[in-house]
Amino acid sequence: MQVYLDHAAGGPPHPAAVEAMVGWLSSGYGNPSGAHHVSRLARKAIDDARDEVAGFLGFTSGGIIFTSGGTEADNLAVLGPLADRRGAIVASAVEHPAVLEAARASGREVRLLGVGEDGLVDLDQLSSLLDADVALVSVQAANHETGVIQDLEAVARRVRRRAPGALFHSDAVQAAPWMDLPSVLRCVDMASVSGHKLGGPQGVGALAVRPHVALSPILHGGGQERRRRSGTQNVAAAIGLAAAMRARGAMRGDGDVTGVRVATLRDRLCATLLGAVPDAVASGVGAGRVPGHCHMRFPGVEAEALLFLLDEAGVCASAGAACASGAFEPSPVLMAMGVSKREAGSCLRLTLGPDTSEEEVDFAGEAIVSCVTRLAGSSGEREVLAR
């Protein structure tokens, strides 16, 4: 049996997204910027997609900028507003590298907002970091590793009060598959989403901005996307993203049936692991989490070795942060939550998708317990340390 529990890295595209993309690619080819009827078809296709994305996010269509993915959307959100704004960037310490590295590359002062053991941003510290010299605040809607959901309303209230001139951006890449974005993002000025995290294709994302947000482009050229993102649009991918969002919204349905079902499975998986591995610690349990994320650490077990054995056992999972080489580094998110570097190297991220079944979760739970037990009793880092 093969069980895929790495949906936060990217999951299978929804059949409706594939169908919509193939449908477009087999007939449409026009450049949306052209002046003839073939181009007009492409322009209509991408603008229809834009409407869909706008509705899913709760922004206006004019505020949707298609990008090459979540990373570009985050970069545009962080760097785009700085041309006409002075001041520092405030970002939570658990932001995705697309936000943190863009902030560092901006040359601006970066004020890091810490989180508690539960992964929630320290709102008191936030108040102390905010002043009239802040240009931008970026706090994610849900964390990429732990799935912890931030209280964006609470952040926004402090930003409006203490740094009224600042823009508030939220990376909603991990929240998008699970949460009702129009209500979650009501209080933000900008939000980023990514296609392949929610059943769409890779290589497409969007930055949504409110009408008052002025952005300078980071990609220069023909001035597409209202001069905010040059380059011929990836029409097929935008169509796929829109179709995935439509499907995802329908799946959620009344009362978020899918989210409730997946959260129940996730809790069952966590409980299995916590019950069978005595010193296992679940991350972010004191806070609300998106339904798909089960994140925990197994002290004394090296994540790398565990992932290897799980891969052999047919379970796809993840751990910490992968660096450019593909090696895993101790999770910076866990370290920000006060976990030691050593312990941050023993974590496992399991992320369920909307179609994950009970049978799969039970298979994975058994495999994980067996691999963790095997590694906990074998020669590894402990032996090195003993020398």
Partner 1 sequence: MKVLVAMSGGVDSSVAAALVAEAGHEVIGATMKLWGGESDRGCCSVGDVDDARRVAQQVGISHYVFNFSEEFERQVVDPYVEGHAAGLTPNPCIECNRHLKFDRLLRRADQLGFDAVATGHHARIVAGADGRRALRRSADAAKDQSYVLHMITGDRLAKLMFPIGEMTKAEVRAKAASMGLETASKPDSQDVCFVSGSGGRETFLSSRIALHPARVVDEEGRHLGDVPALELVTVGQRRGLGPAVGDRYAVSVDPGSATVTVAPPQALQVTSVALGSVSWVHDEPGEDEALLAQMSAHGAPVGARWDRAGLVKLDVAVRRVAPGQSVVLYREDLVVGGGIALL
Residues that bind partner 1 (CB under 8 A): 304-305, 308-309, 311, 323-329, 375, 378-380, 383-384
Tokens of 208: 């949504």
Tokens of 327: 């090696």
Q: Which is nearer to partner 1, 237 or 307 (CB)?
A: 307
Least distance from C-beta 3 to partner 1, angstroms?
17
Contact assessment for residue 136 and residue 82, using Cβ atoms and an 8 Å cutoff: yes
Enclosing H/E stretch for 348? strand 347-351
Distance CA 331, CA 321 (A): 5
How many residues are recorded in the chain?
387
Least distance from C-beta 368 to partner 1, angstroms?
16
Least distance from C-beta 22 to partner 1, angstroms?
27
Q: Which is nearer to partner 1, 169 or 297 (CB)?
A: 297
3-state SS class at 67: strand
179: Cα separation from own chain's centroid: 12
Distance CA 108, CA 111 (A): 9
Of 158, 161, 240, the C-alpha closest to 194 is 240
Taking CA atoms, 44 is separated from 33, 47, 49, 133, 251, in Å, by 11, 5, 8, 42, 26
Q: Which is nearer to partner 1, 22 or 327 (CB)?
A: 327
Least distance from C-beta 143 to partner 1, angstroms?
22
Instruction: Please confirm, yes or no, whether 323 is among the known catalytic residues.
Output: yes
DSSP 8-state class, residue 196? T
Q: Which is nearer to partner 1, 211 or 326 (CB)?
A: 326
Contact assessment for residue 256 and residue 56, using Cβ atoms and an 8 Å cutoff: no
Least distance from C-beta 367 to partner 1, angstroms?
14
Tokens of 75: 């970069």
Least distance from C-beta 277 to partner 1, angstroms?
17
Distance CA 206, CA 50 (A): 9
Enclosing H/E stretch for 239? helix 235-252
Least distance from C-beta 383 to partner 1, angstroms?
7
Count Cβ atoms below 10 Å from residue 277 Cβ, excluding itself.
18
Q: Which is nearer to partner 1, 285 or 376 (CB)?
A: 376
Q: Which is nearer to partner 1, 19 or 311 (CB)?
A: 311
Distance CA 8, CA 198 (A): 9
Q: Which is nearer to partner 1, 256 or 381 (CB)?
A: 381
3-state SS class at 240: helix
At residue 55, what is the residue type? G
Out of 294, 323, 347, 371, pick the active-site residue: 323
- Residues labelled catalytic: 323
